[in-house]
Amino acid sequence: MEFLLYIIIILSYHFFSRITMDARQVLAGVLTITMFVMLGDMIKRDHFDSLPVDSIHATRKQSLLTNGVGPWKQDAQSLTSCWSKQLLGEPDESQGYVTFSLTNGPEYHLSQIADAVVIARYLRATLLLPDIRGRSGEQRKFEHVYDVEQFVKKLDGVVKVAKSLPSKVITGPVVKVPSRVTEEYITDNIEPIFRSKGNIRLATYFPSVNMKKTKENSNIDSIACLGMFGTLELQPEVNGVVESMVERLKTLSRKSNGQFIAVDLRVDMLEKKGCQGNSACYGPQEIAMFLRKIGFNKDTTIYLTQSRWDNSLDALKDLFPRTYTKESIMPMDKKARFLDMENSEVEKVIDFYMCSESDVFVPAISGLFYANVAGKRIASGKTQILVPAHISGSSASSTDYVSHYVSKKNHFAYSCFC
């Protein structure tokens, strides 16, 4: 306040020194000084006397939330891989073939690739490039979704990869493999069959959704890390679709500095038995209230993994009008190719990478999709993963909902990246 009075005195001095002192000018000067004094008193009374320090910070935070900024955070620094192909050493002479398929969507593909690479390396076998099979029975080649040359290149010096089986080679018996396969399991259950038959076909199953990091890093973890995070890249056309959709959302997000939220919310999943009465699944209205509660305003741009609009999503769009699905932001010339029932697996791949690239990721459904998107985001430094939860009170912060994979650093990705 003393500083403000000092400014008033200086201004007054200059005012009176530059004018002729007639009655009207004296009156104007008095009014000017009075105005400054009243303004200073008002600022002092309203913003300092009536508010403790904590309230000042709270007011500032609330101002940020209501002026279109919201609880966005800068990405963390991307991490570097801890594994080294040089340390793994060259693979031995091939002893046979390991074949497998990628099934059930990209969240399963990562684990299936990791297990197949680990097993082929352990058995000193050649890994056959997998095909991709959807839940509805559709089948496509690996190169329809992923980059073959990059896959082979990334595994060079670790596991030999064949693009096709020699004509005289017969696919071996099917061997069931639990996800996150261990060296002990390979020794006891897989190696005897492989040595006996010469070739095997893997069928990975998932006894649990477990993506937590192991207590101790091992050589097998390094190979799994390479397989899970260092081999799969989208082929150019699919990657181009993802990039164009990301850019479209950034353009639509001008009021939030080009930032957008991706929400894994699929109506068909919410209707399944696993989500009935389950607190790990959240519907459109619950997601809308959650985002509003932690400070995102109506101008926030949201991308949903739901492919086509469903009336149940109106509850979310009412609070967040800038809510979009693939059909509304995918380039027109790509819709016929990527938005039909036969391409449901490709749609999932697009969703997976959209959720990996967004500024904020919110899983409305718990499961492997959430767990593996979290892994890719952790590796790239995009750690703003907010998980809805029923936390009482009206003043919750976004930090209260950060995924335990990030807050506790207990994701398998933290075993792979430094």
How confident is the model over 205-245, as pLDDT tens digits? Answer: 998 777 887 766 567 888 999 999 999 999 999 999 999 99
What pLDDT, on the 0 to 100 scale, is given for residue 86? 61
- Report the pLDDT averaged over residues 281-288: 93
Residue 53 has which token pair? Answer: 């320090």
Residue 64's pLDDT is: 36
CA distance 360 to 75: 10
Using CA atoms, how far residue 353 sits from 119, 151, 202, 310, 346, in Å, is: 27, 17, 26, 22, 11
State the pLDDT confidence band at 21, using cuts at 50, 70 and 90: very low
Confidence band, pLDDT 50/70/90 cuts, at residue 392: low
Q: What is the pLDDT of residues 291-334, one digit of tens each?
A: 999 999 999 999 999 988 989 999 999 999 999 999 999 999 99
Q: Is 161 in a helix, a strand, or coil?
A: strand
Per-residue pLDDT, 10? 46
- For 261, the 3-state DSSP assignment is strand
Q: Can you name the CATH fold of 236-416?
A: Rossmann fold (3.40.50)
Per-residue model confidence (pLDDT) at position 375: 95
Q: In what order do the strands lie in the sheet with 131-133?
A: 101-103, 131-133, 139-140
Cα 99 to Cα 163, 176, 233, 414: the distances in Å are 11, 12, 20, 29
Determine the Cα–Cα distance for residues 360 and 45; give it in Å rounded to an integer. 40
Average pLDDT of the chain? 81
Of the candidates 94, 166, 146, the residue with the CA atom closest to the CA atom of residue 349: 146
pLDDT of residue 313: 94
List the one residue out of 294, 295, 301, 262 whose CA is nearest residue 67.
Answer: 295
At 211 the pLDDT is 86
Q: Which residue has the tokens 């969703």?
A: 351
- β-pairing, 199-205 vs 174-178, is parallel
Residue bearing tokens 């937590």: 212
pLDDT at 30 exceeding the cut of 50: no
Q: Within a 13 Å sphere around the CA of 311, how many CA atoms are in the beta-carbon half?
A: 0
Strand order in the sheet with 97-99: 161-162, 126-128, 97-99, 199-205, 174-178
Q: Is the pLDDT of residue 59 over 50?
A: no
Q: Say yes or no to pLDDT of 103 above 80.
A: yes
* Residue 249 pLDDT > 50: yes
Instruction: Say if CB 227 and CB 100 are below 8 A apart.
Output: no
Question: Over 70: is that where the pLDDT of 34 sits?
Answer: no
Backbone angles phi, psi at 98, to 5 degrees: -115, 120
- SS3 category, 308: coil
Please report which confidence band the pLDDT of residue 400 belongs to, taking 50, 70 and 90 as the band edges: confident
DSSP-assigned beta bridge partners for residue 161:
127
Distance between CA atoms of 329 and 249, rounded to whole angstroms? Answer: 8
**Span 85-91, average pLDDT:** 63
Nearest Cα residue to 116 out of 151, 65, 68, 159: 159
DSSP 46: I
Under 8 Å CB-to-CB from 276, ≥6 apart: which residues?
Answer: none
Structure tokens at 365: 């459904």
CA–CA separation, 270 vs 280, rounded Å?
10
Tokens of 256: 């939030």
Per DSSP, the three-state class of 51 is coil
pLDDT of 36 higher than 50? no
The pTM (predicted TM-score) of the whole model is 0.80
CB atoms within 10 A of CB 385: 24
Contact 101, 133 (CB under 8 A): yes
pLDDT tens digits, 329-383: 999 999 988 887 666 788 999 999 999 999 999 999 989 999 999 999 999 999 9
> What is the reported pLDDT for 390?
65
Q: Around Cβ 339, how many Cβ atoms within 10 Å?
A: 18
